[in-house]
Structure 1
Amino acid sequence: MRPFTIAAFAAAVNAFPAPYGNNHDAAPAAVTVTDYTDVYTTVYEDEPAEPAAPTTSVAAATTYKNEDWKPKTTPDAPVVVVSETPVHEAPAATTPVVSSAPVPEAPATTPVVTPVVSPAPAPASSSPAVSAAAKAPNDYAQKCVDHHNAHRLNHSVDAIAWDDALAATALKIAKSCIYAHDTKMDGGGYGQNIAAGCPASNISSVITELFYNNEVGNFASLYGQATPSNINDEAAFDGYGHFTQIVWKGTTKVGCATYHCDGGLANTGGNVSPDFTVCNYQSPGNYIGQFAKNVSPPGKFPIIHWNTGLKFQ
């Protein structure tokens, strides 16, 4: 069996401020995740005001490529999971910067076209009970919400809610089959996390392993800082930006979609399984000067994983 690669990055967009540059969900037996590709990051200089309505007005973003990024692995997990870095990009009048990333070969078998589906994983024996359950319209959406909220609860912030409009926009972007963030679709004004190479059945691993577990430790010394001291170090920020978006207090809504691009996924080098996941957030996080009040330290709950049974009450 030849391994395939998951690639991911995140983008946050808002029509108001200018940007300041700078283990898996029941993975199929035939799939072994071994690596991730490089990503991009942008953060915001000012906290966004809640827009009354979507706007197409955008500001230029500065993005960085981490050429020397190497994945971390979790050898004891059912699959090897590594961290990714977020791309945060302000809604710009110019086209967001994207890049094709070299990746390992895809598996010999070709996944079936699967637009936004979500097979249920087998829960682990550990089942922490968490509060503030948010209802979602289907199993895929519920897993997205539950895995976001398990982490948000542990960081003392309110539960995030599923938003059909954000999800519909995410699906439009995923169906483009171009691995790039698009933060202008349907008026913009949202943040965005993007992943490639991971099917819809693995959505909980994207959120919990890729975006949270592999980044939360990188922020350990930065709690309480309005602006993280290493924010200008692109490699450092690349290591925690997904995590901070997930637990950002000011973010209240999320909508995700995963689409299998049967004809291939552009900008991935051709060796990534062409499953494109897009999660849109309202409002976006990672604003300069606003980290202290939006990113709280973790609490008493244990770290969960892709296969942890979650009970919301």
Structure 2
Amino acid sequence: MEGRSLIPTALVLLVYLLTFLSFTYCLSEEQKQVVKVHNNYRSQEGATNMLKMSWDSGLENIAKTYAAKCIWEHNPERGNVGENLFVGTGKFNVGNAIKSWYDEKPYYTFETMGCAADKKCGHYTQVVWANSNKVGCAHYFCKTVEGLDLKDATILVCNYSPPGNYKNQKPYRKGKSCSECPKGYSCQGNLCSEYLFMQQFVSKHRLSTV
């Protein structure tokens, strides 16, 4: 009877997990790279509460619509989502673009939550914002870019949910990795993973559901 009582819960989790896995395998190689690069950087921070990121098609659609406008300023109509922008000429590589954001790390002082004079660090802090666990990006080749004296350039827009970069808040809590994960999450590669927990639950109870 105890085993049977687990059937509804296990089935719900199994359906949810299979839906997630099928969606993951439908991602393009570039989309997978975006998620992988973000998570690689996030896993290096030594954070107690860093969530693992996954792709979000809704955020991708926001990014795609705005990137096509070829404007070098933040999207004023993006709603309650975070946003990072990149622009460059020549051959575009999404991994290098995300790296340029993470490379702002030396300009950020964790204790004071401030940037070095005349430097930017908000792209870095958004990349490693602990509870920003959804990302969606798009890039567009622009003949000209409004707001910049550039021609034949590629704009990359990445949107994040929940958004980061709140004033007077640190991007994450320093300490032992995964030591303060939300309830129901498990540790995977120094990141708090909701989906690993579901996989473990289904695996643990698979014999009890037959």
Which TM-score applies when normalising by structure 2?
0.63
User: Equivalent residue for 2:73?
Assistant: 180
| Unpaired stretches in structure 2, ≥5 consecutive residues | 1-22, 178-195, 197-210
User: Equivalent residue for 1:294?
Assistant: 172
Matched, 1:167 2:46: no
Amino acid at match of 1:282: S
Q: Which of the pair has more CA radius of gyration? A: 2
| Unpaired stretches in structure 1, ≥5 consecutive residues | 1-133, 300-312
Amino acid at match of 2:156: T
Task: Tell me how far apart the structure 2 counterparts of residues 298 and 243 of structure 1 sit (CA, whole Å).
Answer: 21
Aligned match for 1:260, one of 141, 148, 161 = 141
Task: Tell me how far apart the structure 2 counterparts of residues 166 and 200 of structure 1 sit (CA, whole Å).
Answer: 24
Number of matched residues?
152
Contact kept? 1:171, 1:257, Cα under 8 Å: yes
Deviation at 1:198?
4.9
Give 1 or 2: higher helix fraction: 2
Deviation at 1:267?
1.5
Matched, 1:191 2:191: no
Task: Tell me how far apart the structure 2 counterparts of residues 135 and 159 of structure 1 sit (CA, whole Å).
Answer: 14
Instruction: Describe the shift of the 1:274–1:152 C-alpha distance in structure 2 as closer, same or farther (beyond 3 A).
Output: same
Contact kept? 2:140, 2:155, Cα under 8 Å: yes
User: Equivalent residue for 2:10?
Assistant: none
Instruction: Describe the shift of the 1:170–1:248 C-alpha distance in structure 2 as closer, same or farther (beyond 3 A).
Output: same
Contact kept? 1:257, 1:279, Cα under 8 Å: yes
Aligned match for 2:104, one of 211, 215, 220 = 215
User: Equivalent residue for 2:32?
Assistant: 142
Relative contact order (C-alpha < 8 Å, sep 6+): which is higher? 2
Contact kept? 2:53, 2:134, Cα under 8 Å: yes
Cα-to-partner distance string for 1:50-80 (whole Å, 9 max, x where unaligned): xxxxxxxxxxxxxxxxxxxxxxxxxxxxxxx
Deviation at 1:234?
5.7
Amino acid at match of 2:36: D
Q: RMSD of aligned C-alpha atoms? A: 2.8
User: Equivalent residue for 1:26?
Assistant: none
Identity of aligned residues (%): 28
Task: Tell me how far apart the structure 2 counterparts of residues 298 and 197 of structure 1 sit (CA, whole Å).
Answer: 37
Task: Tell me how far apart the structure 1 counterparts of residues 107 and 175 of structure 2 sit (CA, whole Å).
Answer: 12
Task: Tell me how far apart the structure 2 counterparts of residues 198 and 159 of structure 1 sit (CA, whole Å).
Answer: 31
Deviation at 1:218?
2.4
User: Equivalent residue for 1:278?
Assistant: 157
Contact kept? 1:251, 1:281, Cα under 8 Å: yes
Give 1 or 2: higher strand fraction: 2
